[in-house]
Structure 1
């Protein structure tokens, strides 16, 4: 038996690029250094299987995943090591018996039926959990009092935002709300660290159902709280329950123009400038909603591409490829809107932010909207910085 020939055959299978194997064996197209999410060829599901060409890895929620093409084929084609190498190389093992066996159609049919039953059960469980969380979110927001005359009003006034100028019915205030966090860097679980004043924002779905609640904890002076405990993990701003796909409505649109941004203060600052006519009359009656996160603002992409300027320590960093994944969740747009303005802040990685915003723009264009990306300005500033700067310049003039 020629062991050297066999080892060379195995090595050729190991050396195969995962995206090439996905294309030739699984008929799945993955861009070089990109990522794909799809149904698993073996265990099904709509989004449980992923291949990351940039990292050379794959994953499936029905398996542990792995770091090479051989393991991917063993799972996807439900075969052993030898058969996987044979499928990858297109050659039988040198002077050894092939273990490759054609898939049994009956077994495939039985697996499909099992997956349908599992998917139905999982969908029912997920729907019940969504309903429970929606009830809890509504109960939490129901505890809030109007924001006028509270520390919350003082918090926004410090940022030059006068809430009385907006229809912010989905903002409320609780004088003392429990804060849970990590006591120190070694803590593994969150615990109750005190009760603090808190701004609540209702995140609603397109039907008006509260799906999540955004919290901004304050100190006794109306400033953003510096939470006790682990400073790296405990944050003053938190989203809870289900924020994905929901929007925090800050101003309903009155003239077909609607702005969406990541944060509440970003959107309110842009609205203040719009109402003052800084962007022209066509934006003066615009509405706006906050998305809570860039992911919820723009949705996901179908894949990724290399970062043009990788941050230090992340030489293999990637950014969105700009092609929207229309099956992913993102904020909803109210009826009657014709133009969507996507708000971008410049106080984070500019390449990553721009790639996400462009992906979001492509998404909303496909949904039939006119789309404009509106950045806060050159340099590392956000829209609140831009608003305060504009107001200061006008006051000095």
Structure 2
């Protein structure tokens, strides 16, 4: 009977949405739409953690983990190992905001029948809601993929377009660009952010951008990656954009107009405005990768996180004819999720716990998660016998090194060589290329 009480407790917890779980945790809702990025309560960082109330999903890029349930999100944020029963039940308790059931008292036959009926109804409800979410998510993904195709397909290839922005951008950042047609360029690509009073998305900005495809194993376009360009803003050559947060709206502030002075340091510190990323992905990256140059049927692949790093490295080695050059959307896309048991304490970084005691920051380990899905990370062709992975020297080194080791382990096959190539400390390959081009 106690087992049934616990089972109902767990089923109730499974029914709690990611949005409601975020409220239980006291997470921020800084976005005006569905995506809410912020520092990870467990791993730290600036915008490494996010949850999406429409997709009922969460993700931590620093930890290399994510999921589609409130229990997993709570467990990650509160450093609870869901593989241990007592920790899993503690996560359920936090999600439900009620204590774990104690030893149940003796029930009457009627009480037992009523409880078992509630349990069966809860299970059926959870199954129905899960099926409905899956259908809704599939519809949403297809709509997003169609939007990505609509952005990418009308644009001209970067290398032959009459628009010079993309070639200038890569020339300055990477000392060159590929003689390939994967990357495309547009003069007026819209940056959508926030909603107006009627709930319609706001076109915050429109300007030149490089648009790259995400492709799956069948080479079909499943998404696109957009990099906006401002050639007057060295050294990154990307525009400076700000968005009004939920707190800013509550304070009665107006959206930041493009071309105006940046918001004050006080307003940024108070979370009334936020600096926006100038790279976005549409459609889906799940299981996909960004092609840069070469034939995906090549036996040698070269790539890592970021288009610029892949281009810079390709320029450095002369775009070998026997190689396919690619980029991953981020480290999670490159390496996939980590096995929980491989997590380890950062040797230096610490953060205060709920009592203010400094504890080591826990890092997603080098072992891939067991029984993960094939599309939990980018695909690699079966014919590939050399996979050159490019590290990023200006990201946090321990977390990045663990992710790169995890990528190597995940993509390992008998006879496949997987070297990891690192740039100089404190640099990425694009910065090294730009400095070499400038003679510094």
With normalisation by structure 1, the TM-score equals 0.67
Matched, 1:225 2:225: no
Contact persistence 1:151–1:222 (CA under 8 A): no
Which of 182, 190, 194 in structure 2 is aligned with 1:170? 182
Does 1:308 pair with 2:347? yes
| 2:306 equivalent to 1:263 | yes
Instruction: Compute the displacement of 1:207 (Å).
Output: 2.2
Q: Is the 8 A contact 1:137 1:211 kept in 2?
A: yes
2:156 alignment partner, one of 145, 148, 159: 145
Q: Is the 8 A contact 1:247 1:290 kept in 2?
A: yes
- Give the whole-Å Cα distance in 2 for the aligned partners of 1:47 and 1:233: 27
Question: Aligned-pair distance for 1:361?
Answer: 1.3
Which structure is larger by alpha-carbon Rg, 1 or 2? 1
Partner of 2:361: 317
Q: Does 1:124 align with 2:124?
A: no
Q: Is the 8 A contact 1:70 1:84 kept in 2?
A: no
Q: Which stretches in structure 2 are left out of the alignment for 5+ residues?
A: 1-41, 44-66, 244-261, 263-273, 353-357
1:284 positional shift: 6.3
State how 1:222-301 maps to structure 2 within 5 Å. Answer: 224-230=237-243, 232-251=274-293, 252-253=295-296, 255-275=298-318, 285-301=322-338
Closer/same/farther in 2, CA of residues 161 and 115 from structure 1, 3 Å limit: same
Any conservation in 2 of the 1:275–1:285 contact (CA below 8 Å)?
Answer: no
Contact 1:182/1:233, CA 8 A, preserved across alignment? no
User: Alignment partner of 1:275: what SS?
Assistant: coil
Whether 1:134 aligns to 2:145 is yes
Matches within 5 A, 1:90-105: none
For residues 194-226 of structure 1, what are the alpha-carbon distances to aligned partners after superposition, in whole Å with 9 as ceiling and x for unaligned?
321111111122222322221111226596232
Q: How does 1:137-216 map to 2 (within 5 A)?
A: 137-147=148-158, 148=160, 149=162, 150-163=164-177, 165-167=178-180, 169-181=181-193, 191-216=202-227
Q: Which residue of 2 aligns with 1:375?
A: 422
CA distance in 1, matches of 2:122, 2:396: 45
Distance 1:74 1:215 in 2: 41
Q: Give distance in 2, aligned partners of 1:53 and 1:190.
A: 31
Q: How many residues align?
A: 319
Distance 1:221 1:119, change over 3 A: same
With normalisation by structure 2, the TM-score equals 0.61
**Deviation at 1:261?**
0.8
Q: 1:331 corresponds to which residue?
A: 378
Alignment pair present for 1:384 and 2:397: no
Secondary structure of the residue that 2:275 maps to in structure 1? coil
Measured in 1, the distance between the counterparts of 2:418 and 2:409 equals: 8
CA 1:240–1:70 in 2, change beyond 3 Å: closer, same or farther? closer
Q: Gapped runs of 5+ residues in structure 1?
A: 1-32, 35-45, 60-66, 87-91, 184-188, 277-282
- Counterpart in 1 of 2:101? 84
